[in-house]
Copies of this chain bind each other. A is one copy, B any other.
């Protein structure tokens, strides 16, 4: 039975491409893990082998991101959407423990996903406020308004946390420099789902970083959380009920999850194992320095070629916040969209259609997309421009 494949040229936004060698190892491990006779999906999450998968994954993440002692790694099922609900619940409970007050969560809305996060906090009854909403200021997503346009409360103490999305997958907007210094002692939550491990990050600046696995680090079904340990101190159920604050479902109660080493409930061991293999691969490749450099090269290459043909391609995102992961562009003559996609398919370049909510094109250059594959895409884009 063959486990080979031609190297795919796939630019989907997620679930996304994974290194073939990682998938081959995972495929073997699905049948017989470390010669114990059964597969990584069949072992108990409480067995020695199961626990070692969780522990190794945590260790490798700690190494790659240089996670300080002040922070803790854990895993939760689900992705961004489950994060939206559990984050506001847990961080509110932390804020109550610390200050005795419910506080107000503040959201930066610079694209589809941060907007959804804000809406969920509102739906659940946490009365969130908007720190800045790109669409209200600039009429559309594609920029990050300068900080003088943000609606910062005069008393920072009323902020339970600030939430932002570091890379907006749908809109192709990525933060370059978050203004950390404007928010001293405020807990910062960052959704890094689609640029996690694409670059170095100073973890110490964050209260919480979270990321669904299905972009740079694995298949769908698991999310990675890196939390400041002090945020695990939370008001208890009785205190929350007294204040009429919603209780988070137990499987998403971070202190319970951390206390049980991410296995309070059954963790999808095989899915975590794939993350483990991706991290190993990344460490062997040279770590985040090497990966970040590669990602800069790839994205520059693609943006350069798109910029070269302004009569054919349109780039809706402001240059200073262009995402290195999700390169969003449209073809000026919209009637050529289908031709673009079908000609690309003929060259085995796939996954280029933009998100259903915004249309156009999107090429995602996640870690597993090689420089070679990016070059092929650039060549096609140039050829298409020259012939249309």
A contact residues vs B (CB 8 Å cutoff): 1-6, 8, 10, 12-18, 20, 23-24, 26-28, 30-32, 37-39, 41-46, 77-82, 84-86, 120, 123-125, 212, 214, 218-222, 237, 241, 244, 246-247, 249-252, 264-271, 274, 348, 350-351, 356
* Count of chain copies: 2
CB distance from A114 to the nearest CB of B (A): 15
- For A12, list chain B residues within 8 Å (CB): 42-44
- For A270, list chain B residues within 8 Å (CB): 219-221
Contact A81 B265 (CB under 8 A): yes
The docked-state distance in angstroms from the alpha carbon of A8 to that of B356 is 46
A15 partner, pick from B4, B32, B45, B247, beta carbons under 8 A: B45
Contact A42 B16 (CB under 8 A): yes
- For A269, list chain B residues within 8 Å (CB): 15, 219-220
A247 partner, pick from B82, B125, B244, beta carbons under 8 A: B125
The docked-state distance in angstroms from the alpha carbon of A124 to that of B10 is 44
Contact A348 B37 (CB under 8 A): yes
Contact A267 B220 (CB under 8 A): yes
- For A244, list chain B residues within 8 Å (CB): 244
- For A274, list chain B residues within 8 Å (CB): 41
Contact B27 A247 (CB under 8 A): no
The docked-state distance in angstroms from the alpha carbon of A28 to that of B4 is 9
A37 partner, pick from B5, B221, B241, beta carbons under 8 A: B5
Chain B CB within 10 Å — which of A4, A10, A20, A81 has the most?
A: A81
A86-B249, A247-B123 as given contacts; A15 in contact with B266, CB under 8 Å = yes
Contact B31 A250 (CB under 8 A): no
The residue on B at minimum CB distance from A250 is B120
A31-B23, A42-B12 as given contacts; A249 in contact with B82, CB under 8 Å = yes
The docked-state distance in angstroms from the alpha carbon of A270 to that of B219 is 8
- For A31, list chain B residues within 8 Å (CB): 3-5, 20, 23-24, 27
- For A24, list chain B residues within 8 Å (CB): 1, 31
